[in-house]
Amino acid sequence: MIVDYHTHTDLCKHAEGGAEEYVQNAIALGLDEVGCSDHAPMPDNYDERHRMSLEQYYSTYAPTVSELAEKYKKSIVVRRGVEVDFFPGTGGWVKKFIDENDFDFVIGSVHFVGSRGSEKALIGQDYKEEEVEDLHEEYFEAIKASAESGLFDIIGHCDLIKKFGRRSGKRIDEALREALKAIRKADLCIEINTSGLRRPEREPYPSERILAAAKELRIPLTLGSDAHKPADVGGGFDIAVRLIEKYGNGRFCLFDKRERREVKVSALKPA
Ligand code: ZN
Ligand code: FE
Ligand code: FE
Ligand code: ZN
């Protein structure tokens, strides 16, 4: 069994191609399931440059995913997912949105940190060397809060912050440990997100150091490419499968209507 649970579409304004092209590429790769998980709408024009509107969700995204699931059901299981931003103050709106829709899974991701009053984007941003240390701590604190929010099934790219340079140290390591403990306590899974392989980090999210800590806590895994173009579906999955073997005892999570089950991972068949 092999799946890609993290794919985007052009509705989010920074990805290429419609959902159908992602699904078709997943079929071509022989994946068993593909999850559409584009950036969810958010309240109050929050980062509207990187997401669909609520109107587009209902008029386009939701019906498209349902149609694709039906159209391709003999070839692949199409799951309806969404990647939701975790940001303080938006939880009530987000909960209502999630409850109103029959998602198979919900990925919770931190793309902005704002726990100390000022909102800092992790997208398209350069930070001064001296800011990066604090940013790491704030990022893992936000991951912890996202796990405790009760909103999500999967914690997305849980060390995205390393794109500004890897940091460790007492404060950061402690914040990371607390985040992982919260993920365990909330019984969530983390994704092996291969998009880091396509970026200067040159390794999946999260790093092996974090995967080793997650394994100790028995945090289950799932799998996604975070494709922002159809050609990236399943990208780097040879590496991801090895990581699941090593840190997930060869098992990862599937979702159906937000019910989770664990299955054995299999290698991506060469095309
Ligand atoms: Zn994106
Ligand atoms: Fe993300
Ligand atoms: Fe994503
Ligand atoms: Zn993402």
Q: Mind listing the domains of the chain with CATH numbers?
A: 3-258 (3.20.20.140)
CA of 14 to the centre of ligand 1 (A): 6
CA of 132 to the centre of ligand 1 (A): 22
Pair type for strands 120-121 and 112-113: antiparallel
Pair type for strands 259-264 and 251-256: antiparallel
Report d(CA 85, CA 49) in Å as an integer: 13
240 contacts 192 by C-beta, under 8 angstroms: yes
Query: Using one digit for the tens of pLDDT, what is the confidence trace for 213-249?
Result: 999 999 999 999 999 999 999 999 999 999 999 999 9
Query: Using one digit for the tens of pLDDT, what is the confidence trace for 102-155?
Result: 999 999 999 999 765 578 899 888 888 888 999 999 999 999 999 999 999 999
Query: Using one digit for the tens of pLDDT, what is the confidence trace for 10-30?
Result: 999 999 999 999 999 999 999
Ligand nearest to the CA of 227: 3
Q: For residue 43, is the peptide bond before it cis, meaning its omega torsion is within 30 degrees of 0?
A: no
Pair type for strands 221-224 and 105-109: unpaired
Query: Using one digit for the tens of pLDDT, what is the confidence trace for 43-96?
Result: 998 999 999 999 999 999 999 999 999 999 999 999 999 999 999 899 999 999
CA of 226 to the centre of ligand 2 (A): 7
250 to each of 27, 72, 220, 221, 263, how far by Cα in Å?
23, 28, 10, 10, 8
CA of 265 to the centre of ligand 1 (A): 26
Which residues is 190 bridged to in the sheet? 155, 221
Instruction: Please report the beta strands in the chain, taking only residues with DSSP state E, as ranges in sequence order.
Output: 3-7, 33-36, 77-85, 105-109, 112-113, 120-121, 154-155, 189-193, 221-224, 251-256, 259-264
184 contacts 132 by C-beta, under 8 angstroms: no
Of 240, 178, 233, the residue nearest 206 (C-alpha): 240
Report d(CA 241, CA 123) in Å as an integer: 28
Residue 171 pLDDT > 90, yes or no?
yes
CA of 93 to the centre of ligand 3 (A): 20
Report d(CA 161, CA 147) in Å as an integer: 17
